[in-house]
Every structure is written in C-alpha cells, then in structure tokens.
Amino acid sequence: DVDQGVSGYRWSPDGSKLLLTIRDPEEEEEGRKENAPQDPWVIDRLQFKRDNQGYLTGNRRTHLYVYELDSKTLRQLTSGSRDESLGVWSPDGTRIAFGSNRTDEPDANANTDIWVVPADLQEPTDSPARVTSGEGSDASPTWSPDGTWIAHTTGLRPDLIWYATTHLAVTPASGGATRVLTERLDRNVSSPRVSADGQWIWFRLEDSAENHIARIRADGTELERPVAGPLAAGAFDWAGDTFALNLATLDRPSEIHSLSAVEAGNSGGMGDPVRLTGHNDAFLATVRLGETRNIHFESENGTEIEGFVTFPPDFEEGRAYPTLLRIHGGPVSQYNHGFQFESQLFAANGYLVVRTNPRGSSGYGQDFSAALWANWGDPDFKDVMAGVDYAIAQGWADPERLGVGGWSYGGILTNYVITQTNRFKGAITGASEVLYIANYGHDHYQRQWEAELGLPWEGDNRENWERISPFNRVQHIETPTLIMGGEDDWNVPILNSEQLYQALRRRGVETQLVVYPGQSHGIRVPSYQVDRYERYLAWYDKYVRGARAPTS
C-alpha cells in the first residue's frame, strides 16, 4: 500500500492509524524506461552525501504521512525542502509533534526545533506551528497527558557539536519559553516520556558506564533513579501499572523485564525487575562465559578512567595472558555494563580483553568529552595505554603479547596507537581515517570538521588538520596491521583504509586490506560478519600469540 520505503512508524492512540516517515522517491523512479542508463547525479546541496543513502540530490526529503488502516489510504502531512523526524501523536490523537531543522541552510547547522501539525490535514503543509526556538538541537518530543506542554531533549552548546551534553527540557505546546530541567546534571539524557499523571518525566540517563532509567519532576525539583546500578537499561514503556524495559548486564544480553509502578516509584530504589523473555537462554547454556570486571585506574595527571576487563573462562590468578586492547567508536560513545559479544569471543579464545572509556567518551560530563576537541590521539591515547599498564600491573596481561584494535573511531585511535608505540605485536583497524584533509568534501561530516578544525584554506587552520592526522606519522608504524572496511562506507570512506594500506605496503610493514563489497560503515551481511571475526582471531593468533585453530 506504500510505494516508497518506510523509515519509521508510530501507532495512533486509538490504534486506527499509523504515523509514518517516508523519503521522497527519486525522480527517475517515475517513468524511466526499462534498462535505460541511470541519470547523472546533479548536486546542489551543502550536505550532499550520507552513509546508507548515497548522494543527496535535488529536493528529495523525508516527510510525515498518516496511514488509515481501515481505508488503506495514505495522507501526506508535511512537504517542502526540509526533513522531518518521526513524530509523536498527542494523547487525543489530533496533533503530531516532530523535530525538524527549518533554518535557511539546515545543512550548515544542527538547529533542530520541535514543530506541531494537525493530524487530520488533507493537504500537506510546509508551515507547521513552531514550538521551540533555541539555537541548539531540540529533539525526541513527548506530550503531557493534557496536551498543553511537550518534553524534549535539547542541546545548550551547539558550538561543541557532538561533545556537548544533551539535556531534558519542557516547552508549552503552543510555543514559548523553554525550561531546561537537567542543566546541572551534566549527563546525557534520551528517550523522555511523561507519566500518565503528568507529574514526572521519565528518561534514559547515561552516568559513568551505567545506563539508568531516571525520572524528574515536571517542575525540575526532584530527580530519582528507579532503575539504577551496574546495568545497561534500554528502551522502556508502560501500560497501566506495569513498566516494561530492556535490561542488559555484563553477563547477560538484553532481555525484556517488567517492574510494577509501585516499585518504580520508590525513591530509595526499586524491587527486582522481573525478566519476561529468555531469548538467549538456550545459547548461553551451551557456552562458557569469561568474567567481566569493572575497573578504575589513573591516567595522566591523576585523571580517573573507567573500563572493563574480560577474562578467559579458565583464567588462573598469577598467570599473564595474551591481551587485546579493544577501543570503542564515537569518539563520544562508551563501553557500558551491558553484555559484549566481541569480548566474550576473544576471551573464549584465550585472550584477556581490556576496554576503556578514555577522554572523549560520553557518560562523564561535557568537559571530559570535550577534552578531545581538536586533539585526537593525545589524551585518549594516554588513557587507553594507562588501561593496558593497569592490567599488566595486576599480573593479568602479558606485556610481550599485546594486541590492539577497533572499528570507526576505535580504528582511528588504533592508528594513533601504532604511530606512537611499538608495544603491540598486532593491530586491527576497521573503518578508520588517517589523512583528514583527504576527507574534506568526501565523507559526510563537513559541518563537524569545519567546527572543530576550521576551514582548511583559512589562516593556520591547515595545521589543525595535519597535526592530528595519523598518516603524517606513518613512518613510525612497525606493527603488523590488518586494515578493514566497507566498499560503500560514506561515513568513514574506504579511501582512508586504502591510503594506510598503501603506505604500510610501500614501507614493507606486514599488512593486509580487506574490503567488504556493498557494505557501508556497519558490516550487515551475516557471512561478512562471521568472516570479520574469523579474520580478527586469525590475525591476533598469528601476531600476538602464535597460530592455532580458533574456538567456535
């Protein structure tokens, strides 16, 4: 019933309709002759490409639609030259609130605001009613029960791009002054939901390496954490007196849990969540897991860093094991108290796995994240190396059998590591960047590059780009390095992997380049995912420990 692809949907309160987000079709899709050559891409946008989408041509945008289930009819609500995110129905089903950047040049900024349109529009509009008007990014709207105000996330420091903390705010649904409720919390919030009585706003809270479900009074006077502790809470919702949520821990993948509203309301804590699903029980019964411990250690100038160590299932105290430093992406991301399949795979194959949250990570406040501003490969390098040294000092890690690796920013920091030390016997860098100036106009981060490093042709800005590019220290790399990426990655283009491979091959460093056909930034084809893990193990076994057959 819907010709174009649907990117998101939401049920109406009465269950009779679906709110959809649908991207405009390409012009040549309509009326193009069979077997005719594809038309050329004609580019006129500032942001002209995006991973998983390709070239952003013409005026092709994502808009809101309502699908009537009984009549099987589709109505378009919004139109124009701006994109709209998936919206939310008002409690009475008469209005839709959504996020959209409707500035004069939306490709040049992140100034997304909250807007409202009537749900019964018969003709699409390009003039929704504006709710918020701040300079930061307002997103994730959720209605109050009476429909008079909207809770949403907001950014207060758009100049800090992804390093800025995301806060919780409320704004009248008719527009007006926005009140920020979590400004002093200095922790990222997401997924706000207003309670049925309108007294509380529930949300996900990222605090250190723990992901909690928290709530705050709608007037901002009281903050509670009903679901807290060493865990990773995910999506949540409720019906009546029952609260449902996804929960993961270090030793168990995410499962659906329930919690009564009475228990969830106790400010002193909560009752034990009841696990409702056991999708992973059969699998877990067939494998031995290694213990994962939460660690804290000091880095440069006494900076406290948090991380995790996963031990082989047959770990023996007093024995030093071959050790892998695995680095997370982002950089503004984190390792948390959730289950980590990759670490367990390496542990099952006899490795100790060290994972850290270096400066630049999320969960520790805005200053901690922004410490990496225009200084990639310096404080974060020191922090991850301090994690390795900590594991060695505990007697767990063998300093003569060390490996390093990561994907995306994890690969980028791996590149920094192997340009600054030869302590690692083997490295694996996936979907990484090496020569940043070569990515200008080539990846999809132009706005962020310009904000952090400046326009490369102005003043001394070019030095900012060159100073932190790992490629400019490639002559120091001696570590055997496996380089991997997706053929169609427009997030971190394969150009980078090719450049690093060419340089290492030219210098005679042991290296190999693996490119996955048709894959973007994330490797999605199951057989390719298996292939990647097998290559991980084979490379580390060969260079870090010595070849042997991997464990399933």
Last residue of a domain, one of 195, 211, 235: 235
Question: Has residue 84 been placed in a domain?
Answer: yes
Tell me how far apart the alpha carbons of residues 234 and 216 are, in angstroms, rounded to a whole number. 18
Q: What is the CATH number of the domain that holds 213?
A: 2.120.10.30
Which whole-number Å values give the CA distances from 207 to 91, 153, 270, in the listed order?
Answer: 31, 16, 18
What was the pLDDT predicted at 38? Answer: 81
pLDDT single digits (tens) 237-257: 887 777 899 999 999 999 999
Label each residue of 34-73 as H, E or C.
Answer: CCCCCCCCCCCCCCCEECCCEECCCCCCEEEEEEECCCCE
Token match 């490709």: residue? 107
What domain count does the chain have? 2
Terminal Cα-to-Cα distance of the chain (whole angstroms): 44
Residues 449 and 512: beta-carbon distance below 8 Å: no
Residues 231 and 237: beta-carbon distance below 8 Å: no
Percentages (nearest 5) of helix, strand, coil residues in the chain: 20, 30, 45
* The pair of three-digit structure tokens given for residue 374, joined into one six-digit string: 């225009």
Residues 124 and 229 in one domain: yes
Tell me how far apart the alpha carbons of residues 158 and 111 are, in angstroms, rounded to a whole number. 8
Residues 219 and 308 in one domain: no
* The pair of three-digit structure tokens given for residue 299, joined into one six-digit string: 């880095």
Question: Has residue 280 been placed in a domain?
Answer: no
Residues 223 and 311 in one domain: no
Count Cβ atoms below 10 Å from residue 394 Cβ, excluding itself.
15
pLDDT single digits (tens) 308-363: 999 999 999 999 999 999 999 999 999 999 999 999 999 999 999 999 999 999 99
Tell me how far apart the alpha carbons of residues 101 and 98 are, in angstroms, rounded to a whole number. 10
- Give the three-class secondary structure for 410: helix
Question: Has residue 112 been placed in a domain?
Answer: yes
What was the pLDDT predicted at 25? Answer: 76
Question: Has residue 20 been placed in a domain?
Answer: yes
Which whole-number Å values give the CA distances from 229 to 248, 264, 272, 334, in the listed order?
Answer: 11, 14, 12, 16
What was the pLDDT predicted at 523? Answer: 95
Report CA dihedral (470, 471, 474, 476) to the nearest 10 degrees.
-30
Residues 295 and 191 in one domain: no
Residues 523 and 447 in one domain: yes
Residues 213 and 291 in one domain: no
* The pair of three-digit structure tokens given for residue 189, joined into one six-digit string: 């919030």
Question: Has residue 266 been placed in a domain?
Answer: no
Token match 């954490």: residue? 225
What was the pLDDT predicted at 275? Answer: 92
Domain that holds residue 381: 287-545
By DSSP bridging, strand 352-357 and strand 397-407 are: unpaired
Which whole-number Å values give the CA distances from 352 to 19, 24, 387, 404, 508, in the listed order?
Answer: 47, 49, 12, 12, 30
What was the pLDDT predicted at 269? Answer: 45
Residues 291 and 231 in one domain: no
Tell me how far apart the alpha carbons of residues 376 and 374 are, in angstroms, rounded to a whole number. 6
- The predicted model scores a pTM of 0.92
Residues 296 and 228 in one domain: no
Can you list the residues of the chain whose pLDDT is less than 70?
Answer: 1, 27-32, 261-271, 547-552
Average pLDDT of the chain, as a whole number: 92
Q: What is the CATH number of the domain that holds 336?
A: 3.40.50.1820
Question: Has residue 552 been placed in a domain?
Answer: no
What was the pLDDT predicted at 240? Answer: 73
Question: Has residue 250 been placed in a domain?
Answer: no
What was the pLDDT predicted at 142? Answer: 97
Residues 345 and 230 in one domain: no
Residue type at position 421: T
pLDDT single digits (tens) 24-53: 877 655 566 778 888 888 888 888 888 888
What was the pLDDT predicted at 67? Answer: 94
Q: What is the percentage of the chain residues whose pLDDT exceeds 90? A: 82
Residues 15 and 131 in one domain: yes
Question: Has residue 276 been placed in a domain?
Answer: no
Residues 6+ apart with CB under 8 A from 306: 208, 209, 294, 295, 296, 356, 357, 364
Last residue of a domain, one of 206, 235, 264: 235
Residues 62 and 210 in one domain: yes
Number of H helices and E strands in the chain, helices first, is 10, 30
Residues 270 and 290: beta-carbon distance below 8 Å: no
Residues 219 and 337 in one domain: no
